[in-house]
A and B are shown apart, each in its own frame.
Chain A
Amino acid sequence: NAGVTQTPKFRILKIGQSMTLQCTQDMNHNYMYWYRQDPGMGLKLIYYSVGAGITDKGEVPNGYNVSRSTTEDFPLRLELAAPSQTSVYFCASSYSSLVTASYNSPLHFGNGTRLTVT
Chain B
Amino acid sequence: SQELEQSPQSLIVQEGKNLTINCTSSKTLYGLYWYKQKYGEGLIFLMMLQKGGEEKSHEKITAKLDEKKQQSSLHITASQPSHAGIYLCGADPTGNQFYFGTGTSLTVIP
Interface residues of A (CB under 8 A from B): 31, 33, 35, 40-45, 48, 50, 56, 58-59, 90, 92, 94, 97-100, 104, 106-107, 109-112
Considering only residues 16-56 of chain B, those with a C-beta below 8 Å from chain A are: 30-31, 33, 35, 41-43, 45, 48
Are B102 and A42 in contact, CB atoms less than 8 angstroms apart? yes
Shortest CB–CB separation between residue B36 and chain A, in angstroms? 12
How far does the Cβ of A31 sit from chain B's closest Cβ, in whole Å?
A: 8
A–B Cβ pairs within 8 angstroms, 28 of them = A33-B98, A35-B100, A40-B10, A40-B105, A41-B103, A42-B4, A42-B102, A43-B100, A44-B100, A45-B97, A45-B99, A45-B100, A48-B98, A56-B96, A58-B97, A59-B99, A90-B42, A90-B43, A92-B98, A99-B31, A99-B93, A106-B35, A107-B33, A107-B90, A109-B42, A109-B43, A111-B41, A111-B42
Q: B residues within 8 Å of A by Cβ?
A: 1, 4, 6, 10, 30-31, 33, 35, 41-43, 45, 48, 88, 90, 92-103, 105
